[in-house]
Amino acid sequence: KNEVEQSPQNLTAQEGEFITINCSYSVGISALHWLQQHPGGGIVSLFMLSSGKKKHGRLIATINIHEKHSSLHITASHPRDSAVYICAVVQGAQKLVFGQGTRLTINP
Amino acid sequence: EPEVTQTPSHQVTQMGQEVILRCVPISNHLYFYWYRQILGQKVEFLVSFYNNEISEKSEIFDDQFSVERPDGSNFTLKIRSTKLEDSAMYFCASSPALIGDTQYFGPGTRLTVL
């Protein structure tokens, strides 16, 4: 069983739709990252959170430590949001354990 | 804005050869990491490095692998005798502090072992 599970694996939506990507984990963590991987392969960190909620522009990330669950929301989605979104949990001091990613495609 | 850089962007090598992948972390960062991503698979942690020594490593990081910070700026990953299954994208990352800080990723080096 994977320690970090994301759903859905693939998501296609129309421009303007509200997007939710989910992440569940089965291990104790000190923090959780949401990352964005572009088609060229580069990885960009979007959020690091250990409790509650964070917002940056149209992106919102929430985490429920007790339920071991996090969500990434995108409001007013745009084709440029098309990418793979990855959830990664921090185990111990430094080790990141990654989910398999969610491939998001936003059609105009 | 400062960024993590990696060279080369693509390395092709023969099985059994040694390769060195290079990274220049962001200058005031103290923690350095290597990750790999085999094509079509998830990203995997390899090793973390602080104060000139390995602080944590995964089971993937066996004796074939080593890391070094040879000067004040570069951070290298050496694979001594490459195998076909070492073909992957290798990402370097750095962070200013340990827990509670974002990791900044480099663009990656695609390693192809023939």
Facing B102 at nearest CB: one of A41, A45, A92: A45
Answer yes or no: is pLDDT of B58 > 70. Answer: yes
Q: Is there a contact between B110 and A41 if contact means CB atoms under 8 Å apart?
A: yes
**CA proximity to A60, closest of A21, A5, A17:** A21
Which backbone phi and psi does B16 adopt, to 5 degrees? 95, -15
Best B103, B104, B111 residue to mutate vs chain A (most A CBs within 10 Å):
B103
A19-55 per-position pLDDT tens digit: 999 999 998 888 899 999 988 778 999 999 989 999 9
pLDDT above 70 covers what percent of chain B?
A: 97
Across chain B, what does the average pLDDT equal?
A: 92
Facing A42 at nearest CB: one of B44, B103, B107: B107
pLDDT value of residue A27: 81
B84-97 per-position pLDDT tens digit: 999 999 999 999 87
A48-105 per-position pLDDT tens digit: 998 999 999 999 999 999 999 999 999 999 999 999 999 999 887 678 899 999 999 9
B25: exposed, middle or buried (C-beta count within 10 Å: 0-12, 13-18, 19+)? Answer: buried
Confidence of residue A1 (pLDDT cuts 50, 70, 90): low
Alpha-carbon gap: A108 to the closest alpha carbon of chain B (Å): 26
Cβ atoms of residues A87 and A99 within 8 Å: yes
Query: Does A98 touch chain B if contact means CB atoms closer than 8 Å?
Result: yes
pLDDT value of residue A15: 97
- Rounded Cα distance between B79 and B61, Å, is 10
Answer yes or no: is pLDDT of A14 > 80. Answer: yes
pLDDT value of residue B100: 60
Other CB atoms within a 10 A radius of the CB of residue A93 amount to: 13
pLDDT value of residue B99: 59
Q: State the DSSP H helix or E strand holding residue A97, giving kind and residue range, or none if neither.
A: strand A95-98
Confidence of residue B98 (pLDDT cuts 50, 70, 90): low
Looking at the DSSP bridge assignments, the partners of residue A31 are A90
For A9-53, the DSSP string reads SEEEEETT--EEEEEEE-S--SEEEEEEE-TTS-EEEEEEESSEE
Buried b / exposed e along A52-72 (16+ C-beta atoms within 10 A): eeeeeeebbbbbeeeebebbb
Q: Is there a contact between A96 and B105 if contact means CB atoms under 8 Å apart?
A: no
Taking contacts as CB-CB distances below 8 angstroms, the residues of chain A near B107 are: 40-42
Facing A93 at nearest CB: one of B98, B103, B105: B98
Query: Does A83 touch chain B if contact means CB atoms closer than 8 Å?
Result: no
Best B3, B34, B43 residue to mutate vs chain A (most A CBs within 10 Å):
B43
